Amino acid sequence: MPPIPRPGPVPREALDYFRRKKLRVGFNHTAVWREEHRAAFTVAGIASRDILDSIRGYVDNALEGEILFRDFANELGQLLADTGWVEERPQSTPSRLRVIYQTNLRVARAAGQWQRIDRTKKTLPFLIYELGPSTRHRPQHVSWEGTILPVDDPFWGYAMPPNGFGCKCGVRQVGRAEAGRDEFIPQGSDTPVPLKRDRPPKNPVRFKNPKTGKTELVPAGIQVGSDYNPGQDRMKGVRDAAKDAA
């Protein structure tokens, strides 16, 4: 059997985004809210900073392309077992480890991608929403496929993929010539998809944030707390840090 290929390192911008984060203990996934993820690394249910720091080290290795999910799950699973965490959650551990692994890689890649998008938006000023390779998609994500809007449109401030746990959607950056067409062909497909030039409605749903007690409005189809653009927030954080240092 041929060796399993390694995923390869993420772009340097993505690794920088991840390494700027500080540890934040959180008892559920809403403890760190929206753009707070820019500055905080957290894993729901992990109350020990030492364990959280160890998990961050494994994720960092994964981002560097040095560890496959299989090895990540085996090694981190053993660490959690040694701490007693697995005994409390034996059935959920494999799926939780996959969420930790995939979510951090996808969010970091999205943050790095946004920096490149911002640098090249003068020549490639539009983004197209694309579905990912999942076998099932959230209904709203299906309805967004083919949406084409300027890079600076507010839609990308809350709907830049990934838009929740397991979301594999992405964006394609294009120039004016491609943006002027009636359709595009998604990656890995031969079937054209019509381009849609209207911003999708938010259709927000109400969610009571247990952290603040406030009722939040979250766009339909987006995981609670995921309606933010990690790349935009990372760039804002860098600018703010530069101002503070001046």
Residues 23 and 107 in one domain: yes
Residues 58 and 170 in one domain: no
Cα end-to-end span (Å), the chain:
56
Looking at residue 216, what is its pLDDT? 83
Residues 6+ apart with CB under 8 A from 84: none
Residues 180 and 93 in one domain: no
Residues 4 and 91 in one domain: yes
Residues 191 and 206 in one domain: no
Residues 142 and 222 in one domain: no
C-alpha span between 60 and 48 (Å, rounded) = 18
Looking at residue 242, what is its pLDDT? 42
Which contiguous run of DSSP H or E holds residue 230?
helix 230-245
Residues 113 and 217 in one domain: yes
Q: At what angle do helices 230-245 and 93-119 cross, to 10 degrees?
A: 70
Query: Which DSSP letter does residue 224 get?
Result: T
Residues 153 and 36 in one domain: no
Residues 191 and 166 in one domain: yes
Query: Which DSSP letter does residue 219 get?
Result: -
Q: Looking at 185, 200, 215, which one is the last position of a domain?
A: 200
Looking at residue 233, what is its pLDDT? 65
Q: How many domains does the chain have?
A: 2
pTM, two decimal places: 0.76
Report how far apart, in Å, the C-alpha atoms of 26 and of each of 48, 52, 80 are. Answer: 10, 10, 16
* Beta-carbon-side half-sphere exposure of residue 187 (alpha carbons within 13 Å): 13
Looking at residue 3, what is its pLDDT? 44
Residues 41 and 27 in one domain: yes
Q: Which domain holds residue 179?
A: 122-200
Query: What are the structure tokens assigned to 6, written together?
Result: 């390694």
Residues 166 and 235 in one domain: no
Residues 214 and 163 in one domain: no
Question: Among 15, 40, 10, which residue's Cα sits nearest to residue 26?
Answer: 40
Positions of the chain with pLDDT lower than 70, given as ranges: 1-11, 25-39, 44-45, 47, 66, 84-93, 233-246
